[in-house]
Every structure is written in structure tokens, then in C-alpha cells.
Amino acid sequence: MSQGMEGFEQELQALKDSYADQVPQKLAEIDALWGSLVDNGWDEEIFKTLHRMVHSMAGSAQVFGFTTMGKSARELELLLKAVSNSGEPLSEAHYAELPVLVEAVRASAQFPDG
């Protein structure tokens, strides 16, 4: 293997390791935002922040070696996007479904690729 390719692979691995190190914090932030919506009721800004975080995770997880987590985050993001597009606050059905999807993201984070 050429030194250039080896250096690239080392840099890529360092990025993957850095992402993996950040996953617990990202999950804690998602939990905190979701918890705030559950405990305090609808807050559009908190919802938007939650949606952005999940969207970011859905897009980045697979790139950095968390394929299953990325797929789980995408499912959660699709539900959040539907709520956002509706212009309505979370319904009782959403409050029942979202914790299941959040837990699926959390559980899948334990199993990175490789």
C-alpha cells in the first residue's frame, strides 16, 4: 500500500474514532431534548433542535461506521420531518411512537460496523 493511501486510511480512522467518541454525548443531547418535550410540553424551538440533531446523525452515522444507527436515526428523522411539515405540535400518537424510535437509535449505537 502506498504511503499516501496509508496516511489517508489513518486519517479516516481517526475521524471515525472521533465520531465514535462523540456518540454518547449526541445521544445524551437527543435524550435531553426529547425529555424536555415530554416533561414541559410542546416547544417549537426544542423540537427544531431535536430534528436538526437527528437529521445530522442520520446523515453522518453511516459515513463514520454506524450504519445501523444511521438507519434508525433516519426512521426517527422521517417521523420528525412529518411533524415539522404538518405545522402541528406532537400528537399523543407521536409521544407514544417517538420513545421507541429514540431507543432504537440508542440501542443501535452499541453496534458500530466492523
For 28-61, what is each residue's pLDDT tens digit?
999 999 999 999 999 999 999 999 999 999 999 9
On whether the CB atoms of residues 29 and 49 are closer than 8 A, the answer is no
pLDDT exceeds 60 at position 87: yes
Average pLDDT of the chain is 93
Domains of the chain as residue ranges with CATH: 3-108 (1.20.120.160)
Distance CA 30, CA 22 (A): 13
